[in-house]
A and B are shown apart, each in its own frame.
Chain A
Amino acid sequence: MAVNDLYRDYLLSWFGTEGEDSDVVLSSRVRLARNFESIPFPNRANQKQLAQVQSLMSSVFSDIETVCGQPFDVVGMEGITEVERNILAEKQLITTRMAKTPEYRSAYISEDRTVSILVNEEDHLRIQCMAPGLNVAGTFAAASKIDDAVEEKLNIAFDEKMGYLTSCPTNLGTGLRASVILHLPGLVYTRNMHNITNIAQQLGISVRGLYGEGSETVGNMFAVSNQLTLGFSEKSLIENLTSAVAEIVAHERRARKAFVAYSKTRLEDAVWRAYGILKYARSLGESEVLELISKVRMGVDMELLHGAPSELFSEILIASRPSYIRNLVGNDNLSDGELDRKRAEMVRRILAGG
């Protein structure tokens, strides 16, 4: 398989439109933090020890391929360019920390792109599994299977009382971070997001904007995840998150309904205008695209806009990110103006059907 596809593809199987509750839930993800016994954690390990972790992982590589039933790409972070690393981060297959400090770090990425195992990130191992729609339990089962395959041959740091030992005490115990990406235009436009964030916090669940910073989120996409990792079983952590997400989804649907009931014409106009701009604009900014595709996606999900398949949303999302465009053009030093022009070109091409 060509590793090149990893940087040029703008399709992500786990960011599609199949899956449960996909009108609001874009994708689900589970991350397990694991470390090997007695080797210092990556932030304290020396180069020899980091290399040791990498070679331990290579020794179980074929077991991982077998248990997942598909081939993996091994991507050494030092062996690829900064732009390529940034593309992987834009696709959320690696973290920005890995993209910035590539030394002795690598990622095992499955052929279907739903599994990404990070080696020597904050912990020796970060096993991540993704799926479209609401399916946290399914992604945990997949991650747990990989965990078992690694533990079968290698000693994982574990304590009877404290559970899985992690580099940061905030991940101790289960080492589990389950998160779900939600598209919540209804709650944002009806100014209800701060209520949701506050209530979620009381339930041990964090809500943060996916793009933009602080209260200035762009594109109405939010990541919802569990905050605590110790003292609860994986099952109850996942159930807690899933039931909170179900509640948020119900509120979002209600907000969208109310929106249509009160100002259908205005909403329709906004959705079609957004579609028109995406289809014909000659220059598009980064946050502008995020705002526009959010409106189009909402229009498709609410059946106000016809003739635009909703998977376009995720394609445009990937294809409009700056590193992706830079790599495609083959120029790291595109000016902002050129970048915006290329972005508009990409979006037009996707909307014209390839």
Chain B
Amino acid sequence: MLCDDCHKNEACIHITQISPEGKIDKNLCEKCASRYGNFMQEPQSEDYTVNDFLKGIFSKPSKEEAADVPHGLVCSNCGMTYQDFMHSGKIGCSSCYSTFRKQLIPLLKRIHGAVLHNGKIPKRTGGTLVVKQEISVLKDKLQMAVKSEEYEKAAEYRDRIRALEQKLAAEGEGAAVDGSK
């Protein structure tokens, strides 16, 4: 349908004007409609979301990835299947991440260019992770120090790494003893 005013563009907006002379209905194109009052069209962001794009990535895996997808892989916690992913592009629960870890990793690489978390760790449940992260930061620093021939600093880092590793080992044994009970 063409616009009632300019008769050139496709009409996409319907307006009803009520005035003392009566009611007027018109089908207008966006350009002509804008003359009838100052209104902003709401962005229709809900119509497509990032999930639609993820769906696209899920449903078109590369050949080697496709061969890897086992049929009947289901998340034991929420009942999500790999097929559900391909349809919705949404993840069901936190356990899905370990159930579908192998399939998700290539996707994460594509989205973030990385697959390893390098940020904050929960204080209470993070446990030994905090120590592990500290060790890996210190190891980086150690290497830098050796490269720039700052051996005093390097020695200091080495000692701190040793101390942390001992702490970690002690905690590990403690846990093993607890486990055997």
Binding site for B on A (CB under 8 A): 35-41, 43-44, 96-97, 100, 144, 147-148, 151-152, 155-165, 167-170, 172-174, 176, 211-214, 218, 228-234, 237, 285-288, 336-337, 340
* Residue of A with least CB distance to B42: A213
B117 at the interface (CB under 8 A from A): yes
| Chain B: interface residue total (CB-CB under 8 A) | 44
**Out of B43, B46, B92, B93, which one reaches A97, CB within 8 Å?**
B46
Other than the known A36-B94, A231-B118, what 13 A-B pairs have Cβ atoms closer than 8 Å? A40-B77, A40-B78, A159-B97, A161-B115, A161-B116, A163-B118, A169-B54, A169-B91, A173-B118, A213-B43, A231-B112, A285-B37, A285-B38
Tell me, in angstroms, the Cα distance from A160 to B50 when the chains sit together: 25
Known: A41-B91, A162-B108, A168-B90. A218 touches B40 (CB 8 A): yes
B141-162 Cβ-contact flags toward A at 8 Å (1 or 0)? 0000000000000000000000
Neighbouring A residues of B113 by C-beta, 8 Å: 228, 231
Q: Do A213 and B94 form a contact, CB below 8 Å, given A40-B78, A151-B124, A234-B120?
A: no
Q: Is the CB of B46 within 8 A of A38?
A: no
- Tell me whether B111 is interfacial, beta carbon within 8 Å: yes
Contact between A148 and B123 (Cβ–Cβ < 8 Å)?
A: yes
A-contact 0/1 string along B100-123, CB 8 Å cutoff: 010010011001111111111111
Complex Cα spacing A234 to B118, Å: 8
A-B residue pairs in contact (CB < 8 Å), sample of 16: A36-B94, A41-B94, A44-B80, A144-B120, A151-B124, A152-B124, A162-B117, A168-B51, A169-B107, A172-B108, A228-B112, A230-B114, A230-B116, A231-B113, A285-B37, A286-B38
- For B90, give its contact among A96, A167, A213 (CB under 8 Å): A167
Residues of B with Cβ closer than 8 Å to A?
A: 37-43, 45-46, 50-51, 54, 77-78, 80, 90-95, 97-98, 101, 104, 107-108, 111-126, 129
Q: How many A-B residue pairs have CB under 8 A?
A: 143
Contacts of A43 in B (CB 8 A): 90
Q: How far is the CA of A36 from the CA of B123 in the complex (A)?
A: 15
Task: Considering the complex, give the chain A residue whose CB is closest to the CB of B80.
Answer: A44
Partner of A231, one of B37, B95, B117: B117
- Check A174 against B80 for contact (C-beta < 8 Å): no
With A40-B78, A158-B126, A174-B120 as known contacts, state yes or no: A286 contacts B93, CB within 8 Å: no
